[in-house]
Amino acid sequence: MSASPNGKLRGKKRQQGALKSLKVIETDPGHHLAGPFRPQTPLDAQMPETPIHLRRSPRSPTDKARWSTESRGLWNDIKSLRWVVVPSSSLKLLLIPIALWANWELLAPYVAKGLPNPFASLLFISHPTPSPPDDPRYRKGYLDLLFIAYYVIVWSWFRQVIILHFWKPFGRWFGVKKEAKLDRLGEQGHAMTYFTIMAIWGYRIMQTLPTWWYQTQYFWIDYPHWEMKPELKAYYLMQMAYWIQQLMVLVLKLEKPRKDYTELVAHHLVTLWLIGWSYLINLTLIGNAVFLSMDLPDIFLAMSKILNYIQWEKTKITVFVFFLGIWTYFRHWLNLVMLWSVWSEFHLMPETSKRWFPDDGVWMVWWMQYQVFVPILLLQFLNLFWYILILRIAMRAVRDVKVTDVRSDDEDDGEPDEVEDKKNN
């Protein structure tokens, strides 16, 4: 039976609507992915003044003063949450537990012999479980929350130090002058640095696990994997601390809000939910595999954006092509491999683990297979959407390679494409 004309028309309209949405995103200078890949103003060019009716509302002087990086005193910075952006204050907050821990270590043998150091849980992972000295293992526990809280402060200090004292000077050295663009370049530099560290660490950890290079059957064999290697536990909690810190950055609007602000907040909330849930139900082996497949491609995505800002065109194209290959393999092929494992290898876990009994560390009743499968499938759909967008950006860049858009200095000063077209005509 042939489809009705009305059905074909509705299908065509939906397809046109989807293509139009993609086009809107890929030409949107305020989008977190598409914006940084737009043509940049030549570094030695004079920017024309943007018409008043097209300017975006700047941050108020109050907001700028509130989030300035100059300290107003440690207590004031703590009360106002400015420690998140003031490196000197976050450094002091980091040093206080270290000093207390060191003093306890020095004095406890004389005044509190045999008592454990109460500050150790902030600096080091907790909850060791009886295990051979040459192969220590840890379980999860409530003291993990203290470790996460401390390293939220660590990541806040790290972010500000590396942006203010490395990446922004890096941008200035390459001729980037506009403060808004330097901010964006700094954010991408921080992202590239973080993902490089965590991808190398995740790779190193996977080498020590039976799941090495996506031997997916070991996601399930011998489940529950509640006794974690110390590096794996620290790695997991560090990931949680980083994404909490990134959510703080968005919620407090430490970065200039983008048009897709709500999407980014939702993404960070979902990420935290997946990290916390997989940690709780002892699926850290598949969690490590997912982390690696997500973190490694993000290195080259951030690198491509940085190269676009400093206008290293040939290098940018080379890195972008390499990034496409990395993204295809890690975010799609390996994601499909993990989906196949959840669907086809779930049964490999012991029968004694296929029940809901948290006291024994087992949670895998039959419906949990779908609970694990659906989020990874949604992640694949999201990655596929971004993949299509990235390919369209690449094709647009090739098509417009000779076009100089003096307007789009960066994604902060964008104006609608149709207005630009009218100006050019």
* Domains held by the chain: number: 1
In this structure, is residue 11 part of a structural domain? no
Structural domain of residue 410, as residue ranges?
124-424
- Cα→Cα distances 401→19, 24, 313, 392, 397, Å: 22, 19, 10, 14, 5
In this predicted structure, what is the pLDDT of residue 52? Answer: 45
In this structure, is residue 46 part of a structural domain? no
Average pLDDT, the chain: 83
Asked whether the predicted pLDDT for residue 391 surpasses 60, the reply is: yes
In this structure, is residue 33 part of a structural domain? no
In this structure, is residue 362 part of a structural domain? yes
Burial of residue 312 (number of CB atoms within 10 Å: 0-12, 13-18, 19+): middle
Output Rg (C-alpha) for the chain, integer angstroms. Answer: 25
Average pLDDT over residues 147-164: 97
Choose the weakest-confidence range: 122-136, 351-365, 408-422.
Answer: 408-422
In this structure, is residue 309 part of a structural domain? yes
Q: What is the pLDDT of residues 253-266, one digit of tens each?
A: 776 677 667 777 87
In this predicted structure, what is the pLDDT of residue 172? Answer: 95
pTM of the model: 0.83
In this predicted structure, what is the pLDDT of residue 267? Answer: 77
Q: What is the pLDDT of residues 44-92, one digit of tens each?
A: 554 455 454 444 445 555 555 567 788 888 899 898 888 999 999 999 9
Q: What is the distance between the alpha carbons of residues 76 and 98, in angstroms, rounded to a whole number?
A: 22
In this structure, is residue 129 part of a structural domain? yes
Highest mean pLDDT: which range of 13-17, 271-275, 346-350: 346-350
Q: What is the pLDDT of residues 281-310, one digit of tens each?
A: 999 999 999 999 999 999 999 999 999 899
Choose the weakest-confidence range: 211-220, 221-230, 384-393.
Answer: 384-393
In this structure, is residue 14 part of a structural domain? no
Residue in the structure block whose two tokens are 């009994």: 357
In this predicted structure, what is the pLDDT of residue 232? Answer: 97
In this structure, is residue 316 part of a structural domain? yes
